[in-house]
Amino acid sequence: MVDSDLIKQLADEVREQSAIARPIDIVGGGSKAFLSSGRLENSYQLALSEHRGVISYEPRELVLRARAGTPLAELNALVDGEGQILAFDPPDYGTSTLGGTVACGLSGPRRPFTGSVRDFVLGIGAITSSGVYHEFGGQVMKNVAGYDVARLMTGAFGTLGVLADVSLKVLPKPEREVTLMQEVTHDNLRSRMRGLRNSGAPLSGLMASQNILYIRLSGTEIGVRAAAADIGGEEVMGDHWALAATQRLPALVSAKQLWRISVSSDNPMHMKDAALVEWGGAVRWLSDPESIPRLESAPSWLFRNEEDGGPLERMPPLPEYVKRLHQRLKKAFDPICIMNPDRMYRGL
Amino acid sequence: MRVTPSFIQRLNKVSKGHVIADPERLSVYETDGLTAKKQRPGIVVLPETISEVQSVMRLCHSFEVPVVARGAGTGLSGGAMPHEDGVLLGLSKFNRVLSVDTANRTALVQPGVTNLAISEAVRSHGLYYAPDPSSQIACSIGGNVAENSGGVHCLKYGLTVHNVRKLKIVSPSGELYELGGDGLDSPGYDLLALMHGSEGMLGIVVEITVDLLPLPESVCVVLAGFDEVGGAGEAVGEIIAEGILPAGLEMMDNPAIRAAEAFASAGYPVDAAAVLLCELDGNAEEIAAQLIRLKAVLEKNGATTVREAFNEADRQQLWQGRKSAFPAVGRIAPDYFCMDGTIPRRELSGVLTAITNMSKRYGLGVANVFHAGDGNLHPLILYDANDPAQLEKAESFGAEILTLCIEKGGTITGEHGVGVEKLDQMCLQFSEEELSLFHAVKDAFDGKGLLNPGKAVPTLHRCAEFGAMHVHHGETRFPELERF
In chain B the domains, ranked by start, together with CATH numbers, are 5-90 (3.30.43.10), 97-214 (3.30.465.10), 218-327 (3.30.70.2190), 333-466 (3.30.70.2740)
Domain parsing of chain A, residue ranges: 7-172, 176-305
For chain A, strand residue ranges (E) read 24-27, 44-47, 54-58, 63-67, 84-85, 121-127, 133-137, 162-169, 171-172, 176-183, 203-209, 212-219, 234-236, 257-262, 276-278, 283-286, 300-305
Is residue A41's pLDDT more than 90?
A: no
Which backbone phi and psi does B224 adopt, to 5 degrees?
-125, 130
Sign of torsion over alpha carbons A227, A233, A237, A243:
negative
pLDDT, mean of residues A266-295: 86
- Pairwise pLDDT comparison (A241 vs A306), residue with the higher score: A241
- CB of A5 less than 8 A from some CB of B: no
Average pLDDT over residues B477-484: 39
For chain A, give the longest Cα–Cα distance: 65
Is there a contact between A142 and B245 if contact means CB atoms under 8 Å apart? no
For residue A9, the distance in angstroms to the closest alpha carbon of chain B comes to: 20
Task: Over range B264-272, report the average pLDDT.
Answer: 94
Cβ pair B62, B110 in contact under 8 A: no
Give me the total of CB pairs closer than 8 Å, taking one residue from chain A and one from chain B: 252
* Among A85, A114, A144, A261, the residue to mutate for chain B (most B Cβ within 10 A): A144
- Strands B164-170 and B204-211, by their bridges, are antiparallel
Write down the pLDDT at residue B283.
83
Q: What is the pLDDT of residues B361-400, one digit of tens each?
A: 999 999 999 899 999 999 999 999 899 999 899 999 999 9
Query: Which residue of chain B comes nearest to A297, CA vs CA?
Result: B182
Whether the CB-CB separation of B152 and B132 falls below 8 Å is answered with: yes
From A176, which residue of chain B is nearest by alpha-carbon distance?
B286
Q: Which residue has the higher pLDDT, B157 or B472?
A: B157
The pLDDT of residue A291 is above 90? no
Which helix (H) or strand (E) is B286 found in, with range? helix B284-300
Q: Is the pLDDT of residue B264 over 60?
A: yes
**3-class DSSP assignment, residue A302:** strand
Per-residue pLDDT, A238: 85
A 40-99 residues inside an 8 A Cβ radius of B: 58-63, 83
Is the predicted pLDDT of residue B475 greater than 70, yes or no?
no
pLDDT for B478: 41
| Domain at A7-172: CATH architecture | 2-Layer Sandwich (3.30)
* pTM flag (> 0.90): yes
Determine the pLDDT at residue B483.
34
How large is the average pLDDT for residues A64-77?
98
Maximum average pLDDT range among A77-86, A292-301, B239-248: A77-86
Q: What is the pLDDT of residue B482?
A: 37
Check residue B280 and report its DSSP letter. E
Average predicted confidence (pLDDT) for chain A: 93
By the CB < 8 Å criterion, does B436 face chain A?
Answer: no
Q: What's the pLDDT score for residue B301?
A: 95
Chain B residues touching A112 at Cβ < 8 A: 184
Q: Tell me: pLDDT of B479 over 80.
A: no
B135 or B50, which is more confident?
B50
Please say if the pLDDT value at position B326 is more than 90. Answer: no
The pLDDT confidence band at residue A295, using thresholds 50, 70 and 90, is low
Q: Is B177's CB within 8 Å of A319's CB? A: yes
Residue B301 contacts A, CB cutoff 8 Å: no
Predicted-complex ipTM score: 0.97
Q: In the prediction, which pLDDT does B470 show?
A: 63
Give the C-alpha separation, A300 to A260, whole Å: 5
CB interface of A with B, residues 158-217, below 8 Å? 160, 171-173, 175, 194, 197-200, 202
Residues A64/A57, Cβ–Cβ less than 8 Å:
yes
Nearest residue of chain A to residue B159 (CA atoms):
A142
Measured between CB atoms, does B184 come within 8 Å of chain A? yes
pLDDT reported for residue B476: 44
B254, B257, B261, B267: CA torsion to nearest 10? -100
Identify the H or E element spanning B370. Answer: strand B366-371
- The distance of A81 to chain B (nearest Cα, Å) reads 13
Residue B311, C-beta contacts closer than 8 angstroms, at least 6 positions apart: none
